[in-house]
Amino acid sequence: MDCRDFCDQHLAFVDDTLAGIELVRMQRHLVECESCAKQDAKIRRALLLFRNLPSIEPSANFSNRLEARLKECQNEQLVHSHRNLRLGAVAATLASVLMLGYISTTLYGHTEAPRDLVMPPVVASIPESELMPPSGPAMVTSVSAGLTIWPAALFAEQVPVRFAHSQLELANYTR
């Protein structure tokens, strides 16, 4: 063990919390190293001095003062708990009034004579038929002359169908 290890473990050495082997090593170092032995003695002597400082006692009126303060504290707590109780009582009263109101309303509603069930009048009506804009021949005729030839030809292919459609729709219309 060197002096550095000794210093590191000195706290536990003084407090007597070292394991057996470590304790023996520390004691051996103490015998071998004079400066560490001096340091150890210095610390132990200083601690002894500090630990033997005379204890001071509370003054004569300490208990009376404390008692008075504790009484104040008790009173404060009492006032606080009374205030809480009062608030609780107010809240409970309000809640019970609301509850009573609700119960009485419910009971009143139940005791009333049963009324006739009044339903809104039913009005029969014929649904309006949907007015579809007829895609008439006008659509076909409105094709401008400026169209290129093949879309025009495609369009022309659909013409009989459209005509057929418009005829059907027209037939529906008249119904």
Applying CB under 8 A, which part among 18-26, 42-50, 110-118, 141-149 lies near another protein? 42-50
CA distances from 161 to 137, 150, 153, 157 (A): 11, 18, 14, 8
Select 24 or 41, whichever has its Cβ closest to another protein: 41
- Minimum separation from the CB atom of position 91 to another protein (A): 23
- Residue 97 to residue 129: CA distance in whole angstroms: 60
Which among 15, 61, 20 is positioned nearest to 40, based on CA atoms?
15
Say which DSSP state 53 is in: S
Select 63 or 105, whichever has its Cβ closest to another protein: 63
Asked if 50 touches another protein (CB under 8 A), the answer is yes
Q: Which of 35, 55, 141, 142 binds another protein (CB under 8 A)?
A: 55
Asked if 16 touches another protein (CB under 8 A), the answer is no
Number of residues that bind another protein (CB under 8 A): 27
- Residue 128 to residue 84: CA distance in whole angstroms: 70
Asked if 49 touches another protein (CB under 8 A), the answer is yes
Contact 133/166 with Cβ under 8 angstroms?
no
Q: Output the furthest CA–CA distance in the chain (Å, rounded).
A: 130
Applying CB under 8 A, which part among 61-69, 135-143, 144-152, 153-161 lies near another protein? 61-69
Collapsing DSSP states into helix, strand and coil, what is residue 154?
helix
Asked if 153 touches another protein (CB under 8 A), the answer is no
- Residue 12 to residue 21: CA distance in whole angstroms: 13
- Minimum separation from the CB atom of position 60 to another protein (A): 11
Select 78 or 94, whichever has its Cβ closest to another protein: 78
Q: Which of 73, 85, 164, 170 binds another protein (CB under 8 A)?
A: 73
Which among 79, 59, 24 is positioned nearest to 9, based on CA atoms?
24
Say which DSSP state 31 is in: H
Binding site for another protein (CB under 8 A): 10-11, 14, 39, 42-43, 45-47, 49-51, 53-59, 62-63, 65-66, 69-70, 73, 77
